C-alpha cells in the first residue's frame, strides 16, 4: 500500500477519484473527488491530516472534523494505489461495461413497442431495427440495418459467456433470421414478432443459436 504520493512537481488541476464498481479495481464503499491548484509537493500536500466520515464523503473537506473516522490523506493514497492498478485492459473493460449499460438501457425503454417489419424507430421495430436504434442512440454507432450485416460484426463468443450488450442470434452464421440484445443472466430484449412486439425473454424460453460481442 502506498504510504504517500511520491510525485513532486506542478499539479495543475488534479482530480483523484475513487468509485464503486463490481467489475473494476476501485475503492469499496467510498467515492471522493479532490481538486488542487498550482504548484505543490504531493508528498507533503496532505501533511495536515483532516478526518472525514466515509458515509459523508461528498461534503466539503472544510466541513470535516477531527472526530470523524477516515482521513482524506488515506483515501487519496488509496485512490492513487487503485489508479496505478488500472491497466489499459481494465480501463477497456470498464468502458465496454459502461457502453453495454447504455445500449441496454435504451433498448429497455422500448419494451411494449409494436413489431413493424423494417421498423427502426419507437413507432415500431423489427429485430435488427431495435438493435440498430439502441446502438445508434446510446453510442452513436451506425450498425448495419439487417441481421445479415450485424452478424458480420465483432467476434463470436460462447453463448453461456454472453453478457450485457452482446448480440444473440438465431439461425446460421451465414443466414441468421433473428437477433436480440443480451441482458446477462440468460435474458435478452428483442423485437419478437407481430403478436408480441418488443419484450424480454430468456435463453430457456427461446434459446439463441450463438452470440457475438461487438463492444
Catalytic residues: 127, 178, 190
Which is nearest to 106 in space by CA: 79, 136, 68? Answer: 136
Task: Give Cβ neighbours of residue 143 (< 8 Å, ≥ 6 apart).
Answer: 131, 132, 135, 136, 149, 150, 153, 214
Instruction: Map grid coordinates 419478437 to a residue.
Output: 192
Instruction: Map grid coordinates 433498448 to a residue.
Output: 107
Alpha helices in the chain (DSSP H): 72-85, 88-108, 127-139, 147-150
Amino acid at each position: 500500500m502506498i504510504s504517500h504520493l511520491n510525485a513532486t512537481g506542478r499539479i495543475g488541476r488534479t482530480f483523484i477519484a475513487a468509485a464503486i464498481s463490481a467489475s473494476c479495481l476501485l475503492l469499496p464503499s467510498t467515492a471522493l473527488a479532490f481538486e488542487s491548484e498550482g504548484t505543490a509537493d504531493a508528498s507533503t500536500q496532505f501533511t495536515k491530516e483532516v478526518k472525514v466520515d466515509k458515509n459523508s464523503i461528498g461534503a466539503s473537506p472544510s466541513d470535516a472534523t477531527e472526530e470523524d473516522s477516515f482521513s482524506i490523506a488515506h483515501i487519496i493514497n488509496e485512490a492513487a494505489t487503485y489508479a496505478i492498478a488500472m491497466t489499459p485492459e481494465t480501463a477497456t473493460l470498464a468502458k465496454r461495461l459502461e457502453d453495454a449499460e447504455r445500449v441496454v438501457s435504451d433498448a429497455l425503454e422500448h419494451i411494449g413497442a409494436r413489431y413493424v417489419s423494417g421498423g427502426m424507430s419507437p413507432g415500431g421495430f423489427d429485430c435488427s431495427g431495435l438493435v440498430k436504434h439502441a446502438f445508434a442512440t446510446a453510442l452513436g454507432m451506425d450498425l448495419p440495418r439487417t441481421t445479415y450485416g450485424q452478424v458480420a460484426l465483432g467476434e463470436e463468443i460462447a453463448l453461456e459467456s454472453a453478457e450485457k450488450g452482446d448480440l444473440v442470434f438465431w439461425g446460421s452464421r451465414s443466414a441468421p433470421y433473428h437477433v436480440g440484445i443480451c441482458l446477462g443472466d440468460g435474458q435478452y430484449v428483442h423485437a419478437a414478432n407481430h403478436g408480441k412486439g418488443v419484450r424480454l425473454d430468456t435463453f430457456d424460453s427461446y434459446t439463441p443459436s450463438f452470440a457475438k460481442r461487438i463492444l
